[in-house]
Structure 1
């Protein structure tokens, strides 16, 4: 059976979790704690970079969330989460990589500011806010008239971006100027996989001290 080592509050973990649910795959969920499980020797044996999530399939390990998504799509192609048109494939890849490289870093900074982790740094916060808006402009244009990125059906791009964009209003980034993205978020949040993996306020509150510590370390 597939084994998923992850932290439910992590966007990186959640995108793999959602993919497993969307594909209807049985898996063993091994939940790591935010207080340092990823640095324990047992976990470092399967993830020497202490990154989460990790997928283990009959002894074969896959690290890095996008690599895990590719693995699941290749091994379990039904239902498909990747279009076949070349331009659509490129769009999905762009959304995945822009989410990881361009959206997550400033989102973490804005989240840190909202949680009071950062010292007062208005210029850095404004820069992060503008970086997020640049991504939202890009995503709004990519959606066009499609319900999902480059497709009539859910794709890996939607799963990657969909673990970050719907959370932006909670850290002060409004989606009111992005009607297509806003409707897309509503579409995602109505899916069972998003509802099942959405962290509860209680889980967030319980983990808040560890979340703050991790974000402070990330930004140092």
Structure 2
């Protein structure tokens, strides 16, 4: 059986978790506490020397980097398909994946203190982050056509990647009201069982409490 080493609040992990569920693949979910020193123990480093999640283990074959894992799953488990065959549609999926990783995630990380409801964060940097995020959201809005998903009538790997971040942006004060297609897309995603199952609000609350406690203890 496949083993997925993950952490609930990692969007990189969640995109793989979602894909496994959408494809109906049997797997074992193994949580790695990235906020704990045990995370850096030699046992985990033998699986991934870069000491981050996710890692997918398939009968002794260790796959790191979430996008590589998604491609592996699509190639090995092609049904249901999550990549379009048409060249234009495939390009749309890839653009959404890479724009999420390269353009959306960096400013979202800066918003993490707001999303987690923690004090701190420089107002100027937060505002700059929101402006960068708006550029990506506008790009996504124009990539969506009359189909329910990016480049397809059925869910794709674009949804696995962008869908692990975009719906959370409202918690950081980013409004989706100017992006009606993207807003409807988010509604479709969060209603799906895979998104419902991978939502972990109790973990978020626990991490918020832990981080707040650390900030109080810091001189």
TM-score exceeds 0.5: yes
| Residue correspondences, number | 212
What CA distance in whole angstroms lies between the structure 2 residues aligned with 1:142 and 1:210? 39
C-alpha displacement at 1:45, in angstroms? 0.6
Q: Alignment RMSD, CA only? A: 1.7
What CA distance in whole angstroms lies between the structure 2 residues aligned with 1:41 and 1:129? 39
- Unaligned stretches of 5+ residues in structure 2: 215-219
Q: What corresponds to 2:16 in structure 1?
A: 16
What CA distance in whole angstroms lies between the structure 2 residues aligned with 1:53 and 1:86? 29
C-alpha displacement at 1:206, in angstroms? 1.1
Contact 2:113/2:120 (8 A) holds in 1: yes
Q: What corresponds to 2:97 in structure 1?
A: 96
Contact 2:114/2:171 (8 A) holds in 1: no
Residue by residue over 1:188-210, the C-alpha shift from the partner in whole angstroms, topping out at 9 and shown as x without a partner, is 0111000000112x221112255
What CA distance in whole angstroms lies between the structure 2 residues aligned with 1:113 and 1:17? 25
TM-score (norm 1): 0.91
What CA distance in whole angstroms lies between the structure 2 residues aligned with 1:144 and 1:29? 35
Q: Secondary structure at the match of 1:38?
A: helix
Q: Secondary structure at the match of 1:4?
A: strand
- Unaligned stretches of 5+ residues in structure 1: 215-220
TM-score (norm 2): 0.92
What CA distance in whole angstroms lies between the structure 2 residues aligned with 1:35 and 1:116? 16
What CA distance in whole angstroms lies between the structure 2 residues aligned with 1:148 and 1:172? 24
Q: What corresponds to 2:80 in structure 1?
A: 79
Q: What corresponds to 1:143 in structure 2?
A: 144
What CA distance in whole angstroms lies between the structure 2 residues aligned with 1:141 and 1:150? 12
1:1-220 mapped onto 2 (5 Å cutoff): 1-36=1-36, 37-114=38-115, 115-116=117-118, 118-119=120-121, 121-200=122-201, 202-209=202-209
Q: Secondary structure at the match of 2:4?
A: strand
What CA distance in whole angstroms lies between the structure 1 residues aligned with 2:199 and 2:136? 23
CA distance 1:211–1:23, change in 2 (3 Å)? farther
Q: Secondary structure at the match of 2:177?
A: coil
CA distance 1:157–1:106, change in 2 (3 Å)? same
C-alpha displacement at 1:9, in angstroms? 1.4
What CA distance in whole angstroms lies between the structure 1 residues aligned with 2:12 and 2:94? 16
Contact 2:118/2:208 (8 A) holds in 1: no
